[in-house]
């Protein structure tokens, strides 16, 4: 049997090779059509003053084995359909494959990226290690001799064995019958990017389709291609993306890698081959070059669970940062995910001048790595201040002072990290849990839908001229982005030296912001005169809610300043700039009814009167809503849990009465900072 | 194409290939006859499937449930047997890495090489018992089968025509607004008077209060208006007559005087714009059908023995 197979395979491969090797590794670049996205200015809604687009850049589907083994069968195509507003069945499933739970977004997203764990894609079969048994298999010999043809072979095997009913192949099986050169013949190769365009039919055909066997990475790319709206309606954008899953000893160094176009590496660089982030960046820079039409950025998340690793001020050899290394980090990572299902990474609120920032208690995970409370806390500990972005950004200022470059110059986004394949499903109610690990996986089973410390996660908001990959990606690069905890307030934040004090009363607020300052994510221009102080204008509209979505009014806007003084000491201060922290808004945690006044919109022009021109500084705005019930409280109320009568509380609702976790939250938005750098 | 085929016809290599192919393909016929594999579903298997299902769904199972779970299990076993027959356990990097890692964990003090560890893992039956390995092999097998789904352009055309409604785009609205917070009713009344008096657009523009999204909103669909300004405004705009001022309309932000300027009706969806999505949707359906049909075919190669489930599983 093996013998027969060998003969056949060997001859086939020789045949393919003798055909002139016309299927070289141009396959991905060729059919990808990165240029197919709407050209700038093509969208009907194009707005030169930019507009806020809401999305989710952290989504797991069936291709993440941790989601898969929890019962998620939602694939990337389903995930994008869900993001666009379609109803989706989620696990667990009945015996006939019917879902037991359904979920749907009340408000579809503008963009999304499926980011499955690359470490389990397993795109290339084992052929390169002589210790392995199959090193000498004929297909492996071919792989080593002619890797560019090997994918043809592997995929031929994938297609052909052993389901092949007979040979020669009947008409019904197009790909095989079109060997060795695939013609159109009215047949469409199975994946949308697998070949050149047939200009007559306007569909795909061509010689490269043997590589089109379905694998996770290819399916992820196909899903992104297929659901990216190319019409001038520009309704929805997708990104080809994946998660780089580095977590030495469960200390989280995860990053989502987002690609600008459909031109992407053939195999996504993963942790096994790139065991440090700087190696990831190196490999990406080699395999994703701008010249070839490939661009990328990486977005770290859950620094709160990195046990001190995410913002270490050393490289992997334990050397201090150099200017070059700091530049590399900044170029590769313009954004960080400040909030998601596994908590916020903004601030801990226990050290320094910000110790009295009570809003740092928001969705704070009580341990410092991915081990969580398993093993009795043996492999983890209390959260560490340096793992939070506010502290890291201050460290970044310090490094900038010393090196001239700030490695931790992060713009801010939120996302969900859903493992149900449900991007943007981030409202507190109904929250189906983030994966299959909840207490009550099916409707009708009682219990909290997730562990008590988890939460639904947030959204990424990008300021772009229009909803296309190109325009959104440029926004990420500019850091013109903000994060929300799942709600949809609209926030504008500008900084400059001559923003008029009456900006809030003018209808050209946004024009003024751009003309007289820089938007969130930008750098203040040099101080124009000795006594000049920077002025910040921040304006916010509350989440309007809508059919099936409740929303709360705004409570206040704060500006948070971080700076480093002449001695290199780090400082931070929270300024109340609009609204009223003591507006008396409240929630009845027995009913989740909210009450008290709030603001439909807030606006402020604030001057930093303590400004010292020789101090490096950053400023970001935090827009805070009135309090509302946390997801767990909604579920506890619905189940009529009575903590005053502990004996009546079912085990699955025990955490309703866990005093370590708050009953209410204040939804919020965090803008990307604006930075100030003294003149050299 | 023709030219190439002619050229190939003279290639000795082609003859060799075809010969190999015929020999190879024929094993598909004789192999299952010679080696009918038996898949046994024990009572313990049934019990386990049932328990897992009840735990996941919280529902009571009936006789049909048990039977469907068993059939699903047999399908999976068939796919796993086929995967093994293909040697995927040795070639697939995820499976292999997982098995070797499992064995390293089990045999922490021994210094066996990868190949030996892999053999040991297989001997221990980890292909069946390790959840990750099992899922991975099933996924790969399903992909192989789904990859055989095919369709003609005519079928795609028909599918697109049948589902054109799904790909249609909504109309878009361009409108002007004058915004007033709830406590600015005097200003609002002044603006209404100015509108009634036929004031110029420029004059009117100065009468509203500033609103962060601006006073002119362009090319938004009803859904988008609702997401930005709330359902009341969206409703009012889609019902408005172009050119006329309407309002005040209450929103969560305050009061709005609105003037619809242009409605842009969307043209029928063009295939060129949506072809990828059309093909993807069609393929998804075809893949399911292909998988079901292939599983039926593959079943024929196996002998299935099911121990009757215990009576109490009612």
> Is there a contact between B148 and A163 if contact means CB atoms under 8 Å apart?
yes
Check whether B102 has a pLDDT greater than 50.
yes
Task: Identify which has the larger pLDDT, B157 or A30.
Answer: B157
Q: Does B293 touch chain A (CB under 8 A)?
A: no
- What's the token pair of residue A541? 């509209």
pLDDT for the residue numbered A376: 61
Mean pLDDT on B70-85: 90
Those residues with Cβ within 8 angstroms of residue A87's Cβ, 6 or more apart along the chain or in another chain: A102, A103, A104
> At B152, is the pLDDT very low, low, confident or very high (cuts 50, 70, 90)?
confident
Bridge partners of B303? B38
The three-state (H, E, C) secondary structure of A519-583, written as one string: ECCCECCCCCCCCCCCEEEEEEECCCCECCECCCCEEEEEEEEEEECCCCCEEEEEEEEEECCCC
Helix (H, G, I), strand (E, B) or coil at A258: strand
pTM, entire model: 0.83
> At B1, is the pLDDT very low, low, confident or very high (cuts 50, 70, 90)?
very low
What's the Cα-to-Cα distance from B7 to each of A14, A30, A345, B1, B12, rounded to whole Å?
15, 27, 65, 10, 11
Question: What is the rounded CA–CA span in Å between residue A293 and residue A662?
Answer: 48
- What distance lies between CA A370 and its chain's CA centroid? 18
> Is there a contact between B212 and A187 if contact means CB atoms under 8 Å apart?
no
Mean pLDDT, chain A cut into blocks of 10 residues (680 residues total)? 36 33 29 37 89 97 78 90 93 75 93 90 59 48 48 33 25 26 28 33 31 73 91 94 85 93 89 86 94 95 93 90 96 98 90 72 89 65 92 97 96 95 93 64 73 94 97 98 98 98 95 98 96 97 91 97 94 96 95 96 98 97 98 95 94 92 97 95
Those residues with Cβ within 8 angstroms of residue A86's Cβ, 6 or more apart along the chain or in another chain: A104
> Is there a contact between B219 and A44 if contact means CB atoms under 8 Å apart?
yes
For the stretch B34-45, pLDDT in tens is: 557 899 999 999
Nearest to A269 by CA among A66, A61, A125, A121: A121
CB A117, CB A66: distance < 8 Å = yes
pLDDT for the residue numbered A355: 63
Closest residue in B to A110 (Cα) is B224
What are the φ and ψ backbone dihedral angles of A628, each rounded to 5 degrees? Answer: -150, 175
Which of A594-608, B119-133, B282-296 holds the top average pLDDT? A594-608
Mean pLDDT on B273-285: 84
Task: Identify which has the larger pLDDT, B125 or B147.
Answer: B125
Q: How far is B196 from chain A (nearest CA, A)?
A: 23
Task: Identify which has the larger pLDDT, A310 or B154.
Answer: A310
Mean pLDDT on B142-167: 85
pLDDT for the residue numbered B145: 84
Tell me the helices (H) and strands (E) count for chain A, helix number first. 14, 28
Task: Identify which has the larger pLDDT, B218 or A34.
Answer: B218
pLDDT for the residue numbered A356: 77
Question: What is the rounded CA–CA span in Å between residue A474 and residue A480?
Answer: 9
The residues in A 308-337 lying below 8 A from B, measured between CB atoms, are none
From the candidates B4, B153, B254, B300, which should be mutated to test the interface with A, based on the most A CB atoms within 10 A? B153
Helix (H, G, I), strand (E, B) or coil at A496: strand
Q: Does A128 touch chain B (CB under 8 A)?
A: no
pLDDT for the residue numbered A442: 57
Q: Is the ipTM of this complex over 0.95?
A: no
Mean pLDDT on B82-105: 81
> Is there a contact between A202 and B275 if contact means CB atoms under 8 Å apart?
yes
> Is there a contact between B59 and A120 if contact means CB atoms under 8 Å apart?
no
- What's the token pair of residue A229? 């709206």
Task: Identify which has the larger pLDDT, A56 or B167.
Answer: A56
pLDDT for the residue numbered A641: 94
- What's the token pair of residue A266? 């053939």
- What's the token pair of residue A166? 């007979």
Those residues with Cβ within 8 angstroms of residue A224's Cβ, 6 or more apart along the chain or in another chain: A76, A80, A113, A114, A238, A239, A240, A241, A262
Closest residue in B to A538 (Cα) is B212
pLDDT for the residue numbered A31: 29
Task: Identify which has the larger pLDDT, B173 or B19.
Answer: B173
From the candidates A5, A544, A551, A557, which should be mutated to test the interface with B, based on the most B CB atoms within 10 A? A544
Check whether B26 has a pLDDT greater than 50.
no
Question: What is the rounded CA–CA span in Å between residue A201 and residue B153?
Answer: 8
Check whether B4 has a pLDDT greater than 80.
no
Mean pLDDT on B84-97: 81
Could you give the percent of chain B with pLDDT greater than 90?
A: 38
Residue with token string 């409605």 = B263
Q: Does A537 touch chain B (CB under 8 A)?
A: no
pLDDT for the residue numbered A21: 31
Check whether B212 has a pLDDT greater than 90.
yes
> At B276, is the pLDDT very low, low, confident or very high (cuts 50, 70, 90)?
confident
């Amino acid at each position: 049997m093996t013998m027969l197979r060998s003969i056949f395979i060997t001859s086939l491969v020789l045949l393919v090779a003798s055909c002139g090797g016309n299927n070289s590794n141009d396959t991905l670049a060729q059919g990808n059509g990165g240029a197919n996205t709407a050209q700038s200015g093509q969208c009907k809604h194009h707005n030169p003053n930019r507009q806020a687009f809401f999305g989710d850049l952290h989504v797991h589907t069936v291709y993440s084995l941790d989601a898969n083994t929890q019962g998620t069968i939602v694939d990337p195509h389903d995930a994008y359909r869900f993001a666009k507003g379609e109803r989706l069945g989620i696990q667990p499933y009945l015996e006939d494959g019917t879902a037991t739970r359904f979920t749907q977004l009340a408000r579809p997203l503008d963009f999304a990226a499926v980011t499955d764990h690359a470490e389990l894609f397993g795109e290339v079969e084992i052929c390169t290690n002589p210790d392995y048994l199959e090193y000498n298999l004929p297909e492996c010999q071919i792989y080593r001799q002619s890797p560019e043809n090997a994918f043809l072979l592997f995929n031929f095997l994938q297609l052909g064995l052993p389901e092949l009913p007979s040979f020669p192949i009947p008409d019904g099986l197009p790909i095989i019958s079109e060997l060795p050169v695939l013609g159109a013949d009215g047949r469409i190769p199975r994946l949308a990017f697998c070949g050149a365009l047939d200009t007559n039919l306007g569909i795909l055909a061509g010689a490269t389709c043997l590589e089109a066997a379905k694998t996770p990475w290819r399916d992820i790319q196909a899903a992104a291609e297929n659901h990216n709206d190319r019409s001038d309606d520009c309704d929805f954008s997708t990104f080809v993306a994946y998660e780089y899953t580095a977590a030495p000893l469960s200390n989280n160094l995860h990053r989502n890698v987002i690609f600008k176009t459909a031109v992407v590496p053939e195999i996504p660089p993963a942790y096994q081959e790139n065991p440090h982030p700087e190696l990831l960046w190196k490999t990406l820079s080699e395999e994703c070059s701008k010249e070839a039409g490939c661009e990328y950025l990486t977005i770290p998340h859950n620094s709160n669970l990195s046990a001190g690793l995410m913002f270490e001020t050393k490289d992997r050899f334990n050397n201090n940062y150099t200017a070059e290394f700091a530049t590399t980090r900044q170029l590769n990572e313009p954004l960080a995910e400040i909030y998601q299902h596994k908590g916020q990474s903004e601030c801990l609120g226990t050290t320094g001048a910000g110790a009295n920032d009570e809003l740092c208690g928001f969705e704070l995970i009580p341990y410092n790595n991915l081990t969580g409370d398993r093993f009795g806390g043996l492999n983890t500990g209390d959260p560490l201040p340096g793992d939070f972005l506010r502290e890291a950004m201050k460290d970044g200022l310090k490094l900038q002072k010393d090196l001239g470059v700030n490695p931790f110059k992060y713009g801010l986004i939120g996302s969900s990290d859903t493992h149900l394949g449900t991007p943007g499903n981030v409202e507190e109610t109904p929250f189906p849990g983030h994966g299959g690990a909840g207490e009550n996986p099916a409707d009708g089973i009682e219990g909290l839908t997730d562990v008590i410390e988890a939460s639904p996660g947030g959204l990424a908001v990008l300021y772009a001229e229009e909803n296309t990959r190109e325009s959104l990606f440029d926004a990420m690069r500019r850091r013109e982005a903000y994060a929300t905890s799942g709600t949809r307030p609209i926030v504008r934040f500008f900084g400059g030296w001559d923003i008029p004090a009456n900006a809030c009363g003018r209808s050209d607020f946004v024009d003024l912001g751009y003309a007289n300052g820089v938007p969130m994510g930008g750098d203040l221009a040099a101080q124009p005169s000795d006594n000049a102080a920077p002025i910040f204008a921040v304006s916010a509209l509350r989440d309007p809610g809508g059919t099936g979505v409740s929303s709360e009014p705004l409570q206040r806007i704060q500006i948070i300043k971080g700076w480093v003084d002449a001695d290199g000491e780090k400082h931070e201060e929270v300024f109340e700039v609009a609204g009223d922290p003591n507006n008396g808004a409240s929630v009845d945690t027995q009913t989740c009814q909210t009450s008290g006044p709030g603001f439909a919109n807030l606006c402020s022009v604030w001057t930093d009167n303590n400004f010292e021109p020789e101090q490096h500084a950053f400023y970001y705005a935090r827009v805070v809503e009135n309090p509302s019930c946390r997801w767990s409280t909604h579920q506890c109320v619905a189940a009529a849990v009575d903590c005053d009568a502990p004996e009546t509380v079912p085990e699955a609702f025990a955490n309703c009465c866990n005093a370590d976790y708050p009953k209410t939250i204040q939804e919020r938005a965090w803008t990307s900072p604006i930075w100030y750098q003294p003149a050299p | 194409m023709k030219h190439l085929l002619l050229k190939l016809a003279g290639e000795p290599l082609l003859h060799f290939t075809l010969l190999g192919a015929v020999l190879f393909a024929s094993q598909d016929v004789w192999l299952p006859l010679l080696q009918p594999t038996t898949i046994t579903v024990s009572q313990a298997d049934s019990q386990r499937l049932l328990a897992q299902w009840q735990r996941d769904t919280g529902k009571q199972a009936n006789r049909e449930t048990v039977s469907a779970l068993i059939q699903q299990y047999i399908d999976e076993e068939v796919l796993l047997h086929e995967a093994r027959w293909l040697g995927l356990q040795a070639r697939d990097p995820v499976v292999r890495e997982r098995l070797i890692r499992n064995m390293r964990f089990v045999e922490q003090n021994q210094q066996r090489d990868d190949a030996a560890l892999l053999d040991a893992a297989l001997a221990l039956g980890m292909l069946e018992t390790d959840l990750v390995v099992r899922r991975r092999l099933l996924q790969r097998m399903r992909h192989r089968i789904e990859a055989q789904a095919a369709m003609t352009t005519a079928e795609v055309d028909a599918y697109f025509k049948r589902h054109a409604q799904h790909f249609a785009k909504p109309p878009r609205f361009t409108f002007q607004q004058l915004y007033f917070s709830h406590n600015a009713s005097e200003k609002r009344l002044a603006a209404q008077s100015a509108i009634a008096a036929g004031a110029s657009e420029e004059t009117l523009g100065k009468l509203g209060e500033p609103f962060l999204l601006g006073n002119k909103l362009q090319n938004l669909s009803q859904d988008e208006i609702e997401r930005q300004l709330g359902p009341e405004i969206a409703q009012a705009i889609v019902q408005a007559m172009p050119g006329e001022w309407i309002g005040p309309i209450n929103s969560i932000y305050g009061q709005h005087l609105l003037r619809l300027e242009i409605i842009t009706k969307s043209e029928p969806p063009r295939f060129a714009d949506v072809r990828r999505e059309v093909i993807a949707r069609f393929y998804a359906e075809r893949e399911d059908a292909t998988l079901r049909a292939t599983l039926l075919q593959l079943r024929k190669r196996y002998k299935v023995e099911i121990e009757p489930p215990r009576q109490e599983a009612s």
